[in-house]
């Protein structure tokens, strides 16, 4: 049994719930996707693999995965909520280019001490840290510079 499966199972058991076949399938697909996804995308991927799992079940499973800490909300963009799996995927910063839409990730590690310090000051029991930075990626910002020169 895979790590994440075991963890989900434990989580469910603690709540008196079971790791059923549909839930197992959804979990598999979630961990096979290495990008951000929304419910609909997840659903159509699942349809490719197994049939007989309804969209409703996908929607019902996502909050469980969130609560189990296996999945988290991803950078918010327009058009519904997006998610990403996080188990074994260390916390990271999202760098979101507002021009070309690409998302880069980088490590959050060296920011953690400063964050934890503030958490302590606020007596806040932090479970999840999400840092998103919007701006221009190097490609788009160098393009912008070129244009500036051309325009003037």
Given the rule CB under 7 A, which residues bind DNA? 12, 16-18, 20-23, 38-40, 52-57, 59-61, 63, 78-81
Map residues 64-83 to x or -, x wherever contact with a copy of itself holds by CB under 8 A: ---------x--x-x--x--
With CB cut-offs between 5 and 8 Å by kind, which of a copy of itself, DNA, none does residue 55 bind? Answer: DNA
Out of 122, 148, 150, 151, point to the residue binding a copy of itself (CB under 8 A).
122
Tokens of 152: 């003037």
Out of 110, 149, 150, 152, point to the residue binding a copy of itself (CB under 8 A).
110
Out of 11, 39, 130, 143, point to the residue binding a copy of itself (CB under 8 A).
130
103 binds a copy of itself (CB under 8 A): no
Helix (H, G, I), strand (E, B) or coil at 92: strand
Three-state secondary structure string covering 25-69: HHHHHHHHCCCCECHHHHHHHHHHHCCCCCHHHHHHHHHHHHHCC
Helix (H, G, I), strand (E, B) or coil at 142: helix
59 binds a copy of itself (CB under 8 A): no
Helix (H, G, I), strand (E, B) or coil at 137: coil
CA 88 to each of CA 13, 69, 91, 106, 136: distance values in angstroms, whole numbers, following the listed order: 21, 11, 9, 15, 29
Q: Give me the residues that bind a copy of itself (CB under 8 A), please.
A: 73, 76, 78, 81, 93, 95, 98, 104, 106, 110-111, 114-115, 118-119, 122-138, 141
């Amino acid at each position: 049994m895979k790590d994440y499966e075991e963890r989900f199972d434990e989580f469910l058991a603690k709540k008196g719930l079971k790791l059923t076949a549909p839930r197992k399938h959804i979990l598999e697909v979630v961990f096979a996707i290495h990008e951000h996804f929304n419910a609909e995308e997840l659903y159509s991927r699942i349809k490719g693999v197994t049939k007989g799992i309804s969209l409703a079940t996908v929607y019902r499973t996502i909050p469980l995965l969130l609560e189990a800490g296996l999945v988290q909300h991803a950078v918010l963009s327009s058009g519904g909520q997006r998610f990403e799996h996080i188990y074994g995927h260390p916390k990271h910063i999202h760098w979101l280019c507002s021009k070309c839409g690409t998302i880069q990730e980088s490590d959050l590690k060296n920011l953690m001490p400063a964050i934890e310090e503030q958490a302590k000051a606020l007596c806040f029991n932090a479970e999840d840290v999400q840092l998103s930075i919007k701006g221009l990626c190097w490609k788009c910002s160098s393009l912008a510079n070129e244009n500036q020169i051309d325009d003037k």
